[in-house]
Amino acid sequence: MQQKIIILDFGSQTTQLIGRRVRELDTFCEILPYNKFPKDDPSVIGVILSGSPYSVHDPEAFKVDLSQFIGRIPVLGICYGAQFISHTLGGKVEKADSREYGRAHLETINLYNPLFKGFDRGSQVWMSHGDTITAIPEGFEVIGSTKDVKNAAFWNQKDIWAVQFHPEVYHTLQGALLLKNFVVDICGSKQDWSAASFVDTTVKELKEQIGNDRVILGLSGGVDSSVAAVLLNKAIGKNLTCIFVDHGMLRKNEFTQVMKDYQGLGLNVIGVDASEKFFNDLAGVSAPEQKRKIIGRDFVEVFNAEAKKITDAKWLAQGTIYPDRIESLNITGKVIKSHHNVGGLPKEMNLQLCEPLKWLFKDEVRRVGRQLGMPEHLITRHPFPGPGLAVRILGDITPEKVRILQDADDIYVRGLREYVDTDGETLYNKVWQAGAVLLSTVRSVGVMGDERTYEHPVALRAVTSTDAMTADWAHLPYDFLAKVSNEIINKVRGVNRVCYDISSKPPATIEWE
């Protein structure tokens, strides 16, 4: 039986991060809405209560019946989770004199408590709350305090721990150790969740689920769909048919290169060049959301037309990963963010859905890809938007504008792959996502030779991130930016100026549209 930790989500922005940290401990976990605890699941070895945007005193605050698990399995409350435990069990939670936010240090700490095994005195933690626990429930003991927060951590011997700081964030320097102490030592995880075990288990489950049925999978060239395809191919072989649609707005030579990669992996892939249809339907359209809708509609039409030729197919496979599903539903069950892989199937396809990666985070997908022996350049590919370069061209889309951006983007991305930084790592591997943006609605004056030019600027974008929820602009070396800028202006017809985007997310987004 697969052990697991249940993370009850009370709406915190860092709930996903808790899940990632638990998975890094080779332990399976599942993030569920606060009110969906699986009462009769013997595989659950521990519960973590997340933070929340609410105060425990808010009328709309999320509440859970603690008796479902207290006294049965270990419990860890984080921030709101800690305050909810205190408030529910007889402690006192009050408005703090000032919002407790940012770095703090555990000046008092019980190093004999199993939660803090191996901790350093004065260890840095990260606070983020407006309420504070002014009295802990009877029978509990304080095991950690900061200068301003007396009840920063507390516990009782019924296996309940609570911390008012966030161990899941990087600013809590020993947060990973705290979670390891809880998950491994206190909950007793066997740490048997790994890429190898996932591949073995999933291949077996896919064989049982699909049998001799035929499966269709839509490939995008990205990491998720590629790993899903290789995993399915390992399970069902020739019964998998992949369809790769070229809408004309991929990166330079990407369609040809990716098709070659897929064939090298032994995949049965049908390549469809539908660029003419997409360009015709996008003619004169400049509104970002309208461009996305047209591309999404056309993709479904092209994919469905090709899929219908495979008359005996019974399954549609997708590269949906865990964050897609978490982000698409909030804890009340309402859609808050749509993903192309999350939303069901077109009714006319009459196919069952297969999502072999639905429990994995992005870094886990890459580990599975390596376990499957996939080439590194496919595994480390940066995220790329489904609409492709259409959302990196401001204004309407034409083949000529796509050509300009493909050429500029190719110089930039090749440069990132070739530039080895002082630590021996390529710039491409050090950034989360990078690409060029064509400001086709803008023309700038330039001088080339003795002539005045009036052409388009290109903006370069590169960000660092762990999960794309937040992102910081990458501090690329000046000599690299100078070289790339010079090469783009000299070699790409239609560009006479190059800028570098130094906006972080938030308030900006990673993509420009």
Task: For CA atoms 272, 409, 477, 422, give the dihedral sign.
Answer: positive
Q: Cβ(272)–Cβ(246) under 8 Å?
A: yes
Structure tokens belonging to residue 473: 């602009």
Task: Give the active site residue among 79, 187, 242, 354.
Answer: 79
- Give the whole-angstrom CA distance, residue 458 versus residue 413: 14
Nearest Cα to Cα of residue 249 among 217, 223, 218, 274: 274
Structure tokens belonging to residue 503: 């906006």
Q: Is 215 left (phi over 0), alpha (psi -120 to 50) or beta?
A: beta
Q: State the pairing for strand pair 214-219/313-317.
A: parallel
Task: Give the active site residue among 166, 247, 340, 456.
Answer: 166
**DSSP assignment of 326-376:** HHHB-TTS-B-S-BTTBS---GGG--EEE-TTTT--HHHHHHHHHHTT--H
- Give the whole-angstrom CA distance, residue 378 versus residue 257: 11
Bond into 288 cis (ω within 30): no
Task: Give the active site residue among 100, 168, 306, 364.
Answer: 168
Q: State the pairing for strand pair 444-448/451-464.
A: antiparallel
Total residue count of the chain as it appears in this document = 513
CA atoms within 13 A on the CB side of 88: 19
CB atoms within 10 A of CB 305: 12
CB atoms within 10 A of CB 171: 15
Structure tokens belonging to residue 142: 């304080």
Please report how the helices 195-210 and 223-236 are oriented relative to each other, as an axis angle in degrees rounded to 10: 60
Q: Cβ(391)–Cβ(354) under 8 Å?
A: no
Q: Cβ(31)–Cβ(10) under 8 Å?
A: no
Give yes or no: 451 in active site. no
Nearest Cα to Cα of residue 155 among 75, 69, 256: 75
Report CA Rg, the chain: 26
Q: What share of the chain is helix, strand, coil (3-state, %, to 5)?
A: 35, 25, 40
- Give the whole-angstrom CA distance, residue 456 versus residue 459: 10
Give yes or no: 499 in active site. no
Give yes or no: 166 in active site. yes
**DSSP assignment of 275-294:** HHHHHHHHTT---HHHHHHH
Catalytic residues: 79, 166, 168
